[in-house]
Chains A and B, each alone.
Chain A
Amino acid sequence: MGVTRRQRALLVQTTLYVVLAAAVVALALVADWPVIRENFWNSGGIGWADGNWGDLITIGMVNTVKYTAIAFAGGLALGLVLALMRLSPVAPYRWLATAYVEFFRGLPALVVMIFMSTGLPIAFGWTPPGGTVGAGLIGLIMVAGAYMAETLRAGIQAVPKGQTEAARSLGMRPGATTVKVVLPQAFRIVIPPLTNEFVLLIKDTALLFLLGAAANERELTSVAKDFLTSGPSAGTATSLIQAALLYLAITLPLTQLVAWLERRQRKAVR
């Protein structure tokens, strides 16, 4: 028996690499590259710059970023109010906020968005401001607010009690203590989870596609969807691949940022 433990480990590792390489080679050989290029990366015979990218970026991506920013700002404001209500000494405020958070966290965002854009006009003949997109965004804000409320509440509660005590012992009023001492520290704690929330919202704006929008109000997914049946790459899935790349161009840096912020925070705590 000349096989040491180390040799065996090496053997296992080599086998794993060989299997992986074989799988990749097999896939490359089996794949029908012309068909793949035809369906997923087809410029329609015209230059890429004249093709889908223009509308995908100047309309789709720009609107996606804009809608995300609106939904995030709205959700943050709503979430802050809800978080403060949940921590209020007045019990009915706590009940209301808890009920709201539990209700909207338990629903698909899409249901709320359709309700705002379609359900409300049917029921009351009233359309929220901003047309269909505006209504959808309000729905998105209502749901995002519920999630952010929980994040913010956790952040506020993570600020040591001694901070409040120090401020109150100096004679600062509860409101001033919250605004000047507790919230600045809470926000620092919740920056990573809030950035995560932002990434989730970027993806949730794609739901707006289901509500429909005017041509120049379309977000990225809607633009890509329309290019499935029109434009140079019509009849192929190319525009979806392009949209996917554009989404990743926004989300990947942000998720890296979150990872970096979390690493930095872990260091700062020490």
Chain B
Amino acid sequence: MTASAIEVRGLHKHYGQHEVLKGIDFHVDAGQVVCVIGPSGSGKSTLLRCVNRLEEPSAGEILIEGVDICDRRTDLDEMRSRIGMVFQQFNLFPHLSVLKNLTLAQRSVRGRAKEEAVEVARQNLAKVGLSEKESAYPAHLSGGQQQRVAIARALSMNPDMMLFDEPTSALDPELVGDVLAVMKELAREGMTMMVVTHEMGFAREVGDKLVFMDDGIVVEEGRPAEVLSHPQHERTRSFLSKVL
């Protein structure tokens, strides 16, 4: 039996007295696109950020391709280099050109030679449709362009899976489409993706599984079309009625 790409078991997370995640069991299989939805404060971003341990889990297990990332013997940096992450606020490095944004970690983490790193970077820039921007600085790009560069930056590490933390929430509405198009293309190529999002259309179209979270627990999960059209729980119904 091959391990899930992401396997979360009994995950708890609390900040002081405040419990954000109250026992999450969750998994993403290789090649799957799993979308996580829920009201703000439901813990969905915290769950995503626990997967590469940007947040330290309080209790529970997180296995990435069968490897426990909370184990002290696990090389966390090596694991992270195989898990691409895209942030709501893009988090491009503002002091570096687009090309340098894409080559920095390749060279520092993967130890790639400059020529190789640049070639990988250019391939990924082409993929997100921004080849002509390689010498621009992030401040000169629109939000949508910045997010596509951020996706290209993550892809340049040749990750096994990608985490998206509300990738379109900080974008002007007319720029959302370009970013979603890139993500759809990735899904079509078979990339394993975990996407925290409010884009129900995206979830329905490309998602293999939809997970609805509320108040720190997984309320309901299933085929996106199923969950969106026939939600089983009252909380899911009430949330969907507000966003759809």
Contacts and interface: CB of A to CB of B under 8 A. Distances in A.
A165 interface: yes
A172 B105 contact: yes
A163 B91 CA distance: 6
B80 A169 contact: yes
Interface stretch (B17-25, B82-90, B193-201, B211-219): B82-90
A185 B91 contact: no
A173 interface: yes
B105 A173 contact: no
Range of interface residues on B (Cβ < 8 Å): 20 to 34
Contacts, number: 63
Given A171-B109, A172-B105, A172-B109, A166 B93 contact: yes
A167 interface: yes
Contact of B80 (A168, A180, A188): A168
22 contacts: A162-B87, A162-B89, A163-B91, A166-B85, A166-B150, A167-B105, A169-B54, A169-B83, A169-B84, A169-B154, A170-B105, A170-B154, A170-B157, A171-B81, A172-B77, A172-B105, A172-B109, A173-B109, A176-B108, A180-B108, A184-B95, A188-B95
Interface of B: 52, 54, 77-85, 87, 89, 91-95, 104-105, 108-109, 150, 153-154, 157
Interface of A: 160, 162-163, 165-173, 176, 180-181, 184-185, 188
B94 A169 contact: no
Contacts of A166: 85, 87, 91-93, 150
Contacts of B154: 169-170
Contacts of A184: 95
Contacts of B81: 170-171
A5 to B, nearest CB: 48
Nearest first, the 10 closest Cβ-Cβ pairs linking A and B are A171-B81, A170-B105, A166-B91, A169-B85, A162-B91, A171-B109, A171-B80, A171-B77, A176-B108, A184-B95
A261 B89 CA distance: 27
Nearest to B93: A181
B145 to A, nearest CB: 16
Contacts of B78: 171
A180 B104 contact: yes
Chain A contact residues: helix, strand, loop or mixed = helix
B80 A165 contact: no
A185 B80 CA distance: 23
B87 A173 contact: no
B92 to A, nearest CB: 8
B107 to A, nearest CB: 10
B105 A165 contact: no
Contacts of A169: 52, 54, 80, 83-85, 154
Contacts of B150: 166
Contacts of B83: 169
Nearest to A174: B77
Nearest to A171: B81
Nearest to B105: A170
A165 B91 contact: yes
Contacts of A188: 95
A173 B76 CA distance: 9
B91 A170 contact: no
A188 B83 CA distance: 30
A176 B105 CA distance: 9
Nearest to A166: B91
Contact of B108 (A160, A163, A172, A185): A172
B65 to A, nearest CB: 15
A188 B93 CA distance: 13
Nearest to A173: B77
B94 A185 contact: yes
Contacts of B80: 168-171
Contacts of B52: 169
Given A165-B54, A176-B108, A170 B87 contact: no
B72 to A, nearest CB: 15
Contacts of B84: 169
Contact of B109 (A165, A170, A185): A170
Nearest to A165: B54
Given A163-B93, A172-B108, A188-B95, 6 more contacts: A166-B150, A169-B52, A170-B153, A172-B77, A172-B104, A173-B109
